[in-house]
Every structure is written in structure tokens, then in C-alpha cells.
Amino acid sequence: MAEPAVDARPDLAAWSCPLPLVDSPNIVMGHGGGGAMSAELVEHLFLPAFGATGDLTDSAVLDVAGVRVAFSTDSFVVRPLFFPGGSIGDLAVNGTVNDLAMSGARPLFLSTAFILEEGTALAELGQVAQALGKAAELAGVRLVTGDTKVVDAGHGDGVYINTAGIGLVPEGVDIRPGRARVGDAILVSGDIGVHGVAVLSCREGLEFGTTVTSDTAALHGLVAAMLETGADVHVLRDPTRGGLAASLNEIARTAGVGVEIVERQVPVPAEVADACSILGLDPFYVANEGKLVAFVPPQDAEQVLAAMRAHPLGAGAAVIGSVVEPHPGMVVARTGLGGTRVVDLPVGEQLPRIC
């Protein structure tokens, strides 16, 4: 008797990381991961709907009556609400402050909006609010307006937060992805992958021999120290969703340049490397919440690096690579064995709900 025919085609709807938006009729978790699927969602759905053009940056820099103002908004859906080193309240402030800082702005004001699930404990919400207020105080920004909405039980996950921020951009500062130039040195402010592993270990009850603590922090002070050197900083980016790999790819593609990094020069702490090895993750794709990547002219690299290392949030700063003429729009890494590998934009999301 003949065997029945088997349909070898994959069931795309069952994939955890399906194909990009053009081949997926529904939103999946990967569309929020900061990788290729997120980019397709923005490019093919949102931008045409809004009639928007121009570079996609962490914050928009606007001219308001002759004053350069940076404006940004961000939403936070991290699970769990509290994790080693921080909470959704810390992230809601630091994330938006950092988006403003990546344009060189001095953050001034924040709004905050809470989406609360019916049944959430007021004591837990109070802890989140206290953490958010404390983070704003530490960052030196004012919370000036806000909103609260409640959704039915089972239609949320406790607490979601949106924050929007306004800051002032100093005269002469022009920091954006399109300014990356061949020859630029690429710097990172410290250990990568810490936040994503901290949240994952807490969420899944994993133990790696030591507690991995989130690096969540407001980076505008570090940025100010870098700019005070007088260097013409070309690009800044905080590598959150999609990690270092996503940030470098976005910059390379926007500027139309090649990026080459040296794997051994990228600071990956042992506990993050071990956790990623166990879980089959690449640290380059794991989210950070208190690190930045900088592209600076080669003649300015040493003084900017020294300024970063003199600041508490940049003590572990390192030069990890450079901008090159070959392979424009692509990121490659030189391995410890002397070869190279392509560090592509992630398709979906390795670690959902980490910010």
C-alpha cells in the first residue's frame, strides 16, 4: 500500500519567528524585537500610513523658534516587572532619557502613561511608581504630565508604561546614524548583554553561578562628558532591542558604509558568555539598557575613550572596530581564529519582553 503524501511545506503560522511582515498576515512577537521584522513593520506599514520620510533615529531633533529640541517616546512591557538591578519603573525613565541622549540632547521633561490590568496589586504598582520617580530624580528630569488607563483582567500583564521626553540639543552638535564615515572608530561604553540575561534569568528561574544584574542607567551624563572633549561625535546609539548587532546594522545601512568589529575586543562578561552558551544565544544580539555605541573620527578616538573611561558609566569602554569602505550596509566580525563572519540584523526576537 502506498504511503500517503506528506506536505513538506512548513506551517509558517506555527513558527516562533515567522517570515517578515510581507509574508505574515498577523503580528507576532518578533515584530517587536528591534530586528528585521520590526524594520519591515515600520517600513511597509507605519511609514506609508503616516506619510513619513527621513532617517529613523532614537529621537527626533526639531527646530522650535530657533531652538533645537529633541523629542522621543518609548513604551515598556518588560516581564517580570522587577528584576535584578531594576524594574519597569527604572526602564521607563532611563530608556527615554537615553533615546534623547543619543542625539546629544540634555533631557529636561518626561511624560508618563500607565496601562494597568484590573486586579494588579496597589502595593506592586506603588513600588513601580516609586522606582520611576526615583529614577527621574537621579536623572535630573521632571515628570510633568501623565495618564492612566485600566484594561480588563486577562487583557494586560499587570503594568505597561509609556514615557515621552523633551530635551535641548547644544549648538553645533549633529549626531545621527547617517553621519557614520569610513575610518570612524567604533566604541562601546562597557560590558554588553547584561540586561537581557538578567531579565531572562529572573523570568525563567535560571541560575548561572552568580547573579547577573541589569545595567539599566541614564546615559546623558556620559554623553555630555564625551561631547565636552570637543570631538565631532558622528553617531550614538544605545543597543537595546536586538543588541549590539541590530544597532550596528541599522547604522551601516542608514549611512551606506561597512562596519568591521573585532570579536575579542567586544567586552562580554564571563557570566553573560556562559549563559548565552548554555541557552544557544549570541551576546551580540542580547539587549542592553545602560550602554552606548559611538562612532567618532579616528583622530578623536583616544580622547573620547579617555573621557568615557573617566565616567562611572563608561569605565569599561573599549574600541571594538571601525567603519570600512568594503561591504557597505553590512557588519562583519573578525573572529579569534582569524576569519570573518557576517553579523546580520536579527530576524525576530531572541528574548521577548525585556524592555
The DSSP result for 79-116, as a single string, is SSSEETTEEHHHHHHHHHHHHHHTTT-EEEEEEEEEEE
pLDDT at 84: 94
Q: CA-CA distance, 94 to 167, in Å (whole number)?
A: 14
Beta bridge partners of 258: 324
Q: Per residue of the chain (355 residues), give pLDDT as tens.
A: 444 443 433 343 333 343 444 567 888 887 877 777 887 888 888 888 888 776 778 899 999 999 999 999 999 999 999 999 999 999 999 999 999 999 999 999 999 999 999 999 999 999 999 999 999 999 999 999 999 999 999 998 999 999 999 999 999 999 999 999 999 999 999 999 999 999 988 887 777 767 899 999 999 999 999 999 999 999 999 999 999 999 999 999 999 999 999 999 999 999 999 999 988 899 999 999 999 999 999 999 999 999 999 999 999 999 999 999 999 999 999 998 889 999 998 776 667 788 8
Helix (H) or strand (E) holding 19: none
**In the chain, where do the E strands start and end?**
60-64, 67-76, 82-83, 86-87, 106-117, 142-151, 159-168, 185-188, 235-237, 258-262, 293-296, 318-324, 331-334, 340-342
Q: CA-CA distance, 12 to 80, in Å (whole number)?
A: 29
Helix (H, G, I), strand (E, B) or coil at 146: strand
**DSSP one-letter code for 14:** G
pLDDT at 349: 66
pLDDT at 36: 77
Query: How many CA atoms lie less than 13 Å away from 348 in the CB half-sphere?
Result: 16
The Cβ of residue 120 has, within 10 Å, a number of other Cβ atoms equal to: 18
pTM, to two decimals: 0.89
pLDDT at 41: 83
Please report the DSSP string for 234-290 in residue order: -EEE---TTHHHHHHHHHHHHHT-EEEEEGGGS---HHHHHHHHHHT--GGGS--SS
Whether residue 342 contacts residue 331, with contact meaning beta carbons closer than 8 Å, is answered with yes
pLDDT at 54: 67
Q: Which three cell numbers stand for residue 211?
A: 547573579
